Chains A and B, each alone.
Chain A
Amino acid sequence: MSEQKIDGFELKPGFKGMASDTGSDQTMFKGVHWGKAMMWIFLLSDTFVFSCFLISYMKGRGSTIVDWPNTSEVFSLYVGGVPVPLLLIAIMTFVLITSSGTMALAVKYGYEKNRKMCGWLILATAVGGLTFVGMQVFEWSKLIHEGVRPWGNPFGASQFGSFFFMITGFHGFHVSIGVIFLFIYTYKVFAGHYESKKRGWFTKMKGDYVEIEILGLYWHFVDLVWVFIFAFFYLW
């Protein structure tokens, strides 16, 4: 979608271009697919959701009367009897970021109409996402096993468990929704719905490979949010 030719309209670079696009008729973002614009705005709204969560977390952590648990101990894995801090999280983060890479490649092959490659890469992304969610389930069950609950834990302030489960849960929910859609799109790409212009089951609309990019935007956003959660929960 880089070089877009628009009839009777000159796309200019920089601030002037922004001003002339804004002042023009029909569209504000020239050549941008409706769905793509929608996803950007949705992500802006979702950013506010996660910001509210994380700011609440900072406020909650800052004002507890009991000490916050030592996160490098709580989150460490025992390898051969030795606690290794951040081990699991490092793997989880690696998997998720890698899936962002496969997603980006899927978008590229989608626009090149390389159906097979695109499909396999989306599938790889979905599997990566699923692995992430699986490891999160493991982490949750480990913490629950150690006595961490939303309403209290043996390590310190009860808000630790509350915020941890709520925010990682909300993020994991985002990842899970993404995984479901990744599987749906894997099917759609392999079945060739974008070539045959088959109408969607629910929306009755014809699809296009731009949908892969839109899903990709969502997926990268979920990864980006994870980076913040990682920093705020595991490194602070």
Chain B
Amino acid sequence: MSDEYDNNKSYQAQSSEVMDGSAGSVNPDIDYVRPAEVGEQDLYHGHSFIEKWVFCQDAKVIGVQYFLTAVFTGIVGLILSWLMRLQLGFPGLAGFMTAEHYYQFVTMHGMIMVVYFLTALFLGGFGNYLIPLMVGARDMVFPYVNMLSFWMFFVAVAVLMASFFVPGGPTGAGWTLYPPQTILEGTPGSGMGILLMLISLSLFVIGFTMGGLNYMITILQARTRGMTLMRMPLTVWGIFTATVLAMLAFPALLVSAIMMTLDKVLQTSFFMPTILKAGEVLEYGGGSPILFQHLFWFFGHPEVYIVALPAFGIVSDLISVHARKNIFGYRMMVWAIVGIGGLSFFVWAHHMYVSGMNPWFGFFFATTTLIIAVPTAMKVYNWILTLWRGNIRINTVMLWCLGFIVTFVNGGITGIFLGNVSVDVPLSDTYFVIAHFHMVMGIAPLMVIMGAVYHWFPLVAGKMLHEGLGKWHFWITFLGAYSIYFPMHYLGFIGVPRRYFEMYDSPYMTSAVGMNEFISIAAFIVGAAQFILVFNIIKTLKTGKKAEQNPWKANSLEWYTSTVPPEHGNFGERLPVVHRWPYDFSVPGAKDDFIPQTTAPSEVIHTEVEKT
């Protein structure tokens, strides 16, 4: 065992005695933290505007760059969803909307939201900004590579957006890009569109790998003195595990993208079977479309958790801070995150129950899928138990957190339906599936993002976002999102298929029409409500109330920087020294209801702090 551990033991022994002495007296023994192993990080400070704000090597600026780029793509995705809802709720109202356009919008909406919005926002945005601050590092360990990572992502987004403007438009193959139809004539965007999509995805993977290496090594090798893995905020744990998943799952996406690019450009037949078209045999033959599905979902399922795990981590921190209570079962939370991450590599084929695979295969994947419910449920119980008898502040951040818990449970329960083969088969490709994954990995992580924005905005910008506007934003989004997705479950049960441009004279028409109109109107309102946040941010930046340091009275290191907002190098002259976990809230005997991670044991000698 490390010296750290022995220290704590001796500290415990001493703190149980009644120590006589003022708070100022420093006992060198119980406050001992090992000296630094690694010397000070060599930082390159930018000299010009371009080095400081464009090709910047400061992880915080890179984080904001990631955030803004991701939000831009997110707004594009939102507009696409509006156009889809316009067609579904009021067919024929938008004259330009052809079936081809509809498929293109579906595809681009899916890909943008999952990869370019949520993944980039959580890992690139929050990861870059928060990891060095939370673990007490001056910056990411490879600032130059980190900068390249963002610009690679930027180019990937540019290539993706360019596909809107090429002949034939963007690909309309559905976000899963299943071959063979994806690259065959007749699918919208099967020319330049799909090619740009595949190139963009490859660039994204390369860019992400550069960033991911940074996140992992910063967390593993660049923590400050006293910061053990089990003293890291759960945010860092969530982002870390998600990064590990991404580093191991994105290779499958890269490989499938390369192979499909070759199928498209060089007429290879990796994924292409023998195809008859209008009585004529195409040049393809002998390939396996199912292989693509396996590769894609080997990436695609961990991808769900790449989005979800950072959200789990962040929401744990937000709940703990705003309920003024330590997170319930911290270690259990960490192991649940790691466990979910590990299991997520063994469930991918539950997306393929209708692909014609061996039923025993489905049985295996149904089992592993349902096992994931165990650590996930542990996390939900722990969030609720953290709230239990906490000193809850019902502010905007807490509202988003509560919204998250409810929404996540909702989406999780429908996930149990879909995880079972026999239930999934009739529900497959219906609106039930749409409702499920939008609840669980669309709305739920989005609520965490919103909560996190309200929570950390004072740190990033030094000003407090307007609470009233925030509450309006929350309630419209929360109620609106339920108005959108609850009815969709019903649409799925009555059998309305997804990805259909129009229902025509199908038997669903009568009951689905009114519901579709209602859903569409709700979607317009919810989408528009997101601009409340944009307005709030602009208004706050101009006239907002200046934030004090550490406005939420949190414990983690990001609030204890030398300046607010933190400058390059984060912590001024000396790096902080960590003595405890970040969840010492409402500790009996303590002066305040929070004890920062940097507080030495000798300063809180009479309190009953957790041993961490």
Using known A-B contacts A38-B217, A64-B286, determine if residue A20 contacts B34 with beta carbons closer than 8 Å.
no
B254 — which chain A residues lie within 8 A by C-beta? 49, 52
| A30-B34 Cα distance, complex, nearest whole Å | 13
| A53-B224 Cα distance, complex, nearest whole Å | 39
Min distance, Cβ B126 to any Cβ of chain A, angstroms:
21
B212 — which chain A residues lie within 8 A by C-beta? 45
Interface pair A32/B144, CB less than 8 Å apart: no
Interface pair B37/A6, CB less than 8 Å apart: yes
Residues of A28-68 contacting chain B, CB below 8 A: 28-32, 34-35, 37-38, 41-42, 44-46, 48-49, 51-53, 56, 59-60, 63-66
A236 at the interface (CB under 8 A from B): no
Q: Choose among B42, B283, B285 the residue that contacts A205 (Cβ–Cβ < 8 A).
A: B42
A6 — which chain B residues lie within 8 A by C-beta? 37
A52 — which chain B residues lie within 8 A by C-beta? 251-252, 254-256, 295, 298
Using known A-B contacts A60-B291, A65-B285, A203-B144, determine if residue A162 contacts B220 with beta carbons closer than 8 Å.
no
A24 — which chain B residues lie within 8 A by C-beta? 2, 4, 34, 228
A166 — which chain B residues lie within 8 A by C-beta? 258-259, 262, 268
The interface bits of chain A over 121-159 (1 if a CB of B lies within 8 angstroms of the residue's CB, else 0) are 000000000000000000000000000001100000111
B223 — which chain A residues lie within 8 A by C-beta? 25-27
Interface pair B144/A205, CB less than 8 Å apart: yes
Q: Choose among B34, B141, B255, B288 the residue that contacts A49 (Cβ–Cβ < 8 A).
A: B255
Q: Which interface class (under 10, 10 to 19, 20 to 34, 35 or more) fits A?
A: 35 or more
Min distance, Cβ A196 to any Cβ of chain B, angstroms:
15
Q: Choose among A25, A37, A63, A66 the residue that contacts B228 (Cβ–Cβ < 8 A).
A: A25
The interface bits of chain B over 42-85 (1 if a CB of A lies within 8 angstroms of the residue's CB, else 0) are 10100000000000000000000000000000000000000000
Residue of B nearest to A65 (CB): B286
Q: Which interface class (under 10, 10 to 19, 20 to 34, 35 or more) fits B?
A: 35 or more
A15 at the interface (CB under 8 A from B): no
| A172-B602 Cα distance, complex, nearest whole Å | 60
Using known A-B contacts A25-B226, A26-B225, A52-B251, determine if residue A8 contacts B44 with beta carbons closer than 8 Å.
no
B222 at the interface (CB under 8 A from A): yes
A205 — which chain B residues lie within 8 A by C-beta? 42, 44, 144
| A51-B252 Cα distance, complex, nearest whole Å | 9
Interface pair B37/A28, CB less than 8 Å apart: no
A202 — which chain B residues lie within 8 A by C-beta? 144
Interface pair A48/B252, CB less than 8 Å apart: yes
| A38-B4 Cα distance, complex, nearest whole Å | 26
Interface pair A158/B291, CB less than 8 Å apart: no
B250 — which chain A residues lie within 8 A by C-beta? 45
A25 — which chain B residues lie within 8 A by C-beta? 4, 33-34, 223-228, 231, 578
A53 — which chain B residues lie within 8 A by C-beta? 255
A23 at the interface (CB under 8 A from B): yes
Pairs across A and B, CB under 8 Å, 13 listed: A6-B37, A7-B37, A8-B3, A9-B2, A24-B34, A26-B38, A29-B221, A37-B217, A48-B251, A157-B286, A158-B268, A159-B287, A166-B262
Other than the given A48-B251, A52-B252, A65-B285, 13 more pairs (CB < 8 A) read A6-B37, A23-B229, A24-B4, A25-B33, A26-B224, A31-B37, A38-B216, A45-B247, A52-B251, A151-B266, A166-B258, A166-B259, A206-B42
Name A residues whose Cβ lies closer than 8 Å to a Cβ of B.
6-10, 20, 22-32, 34-35, 37-38, 41-42, 44-46, 48-49, 51-53, 56, 59-60, 63-66, 150-151, 157-159, 161-163, 166, 170, 202-206
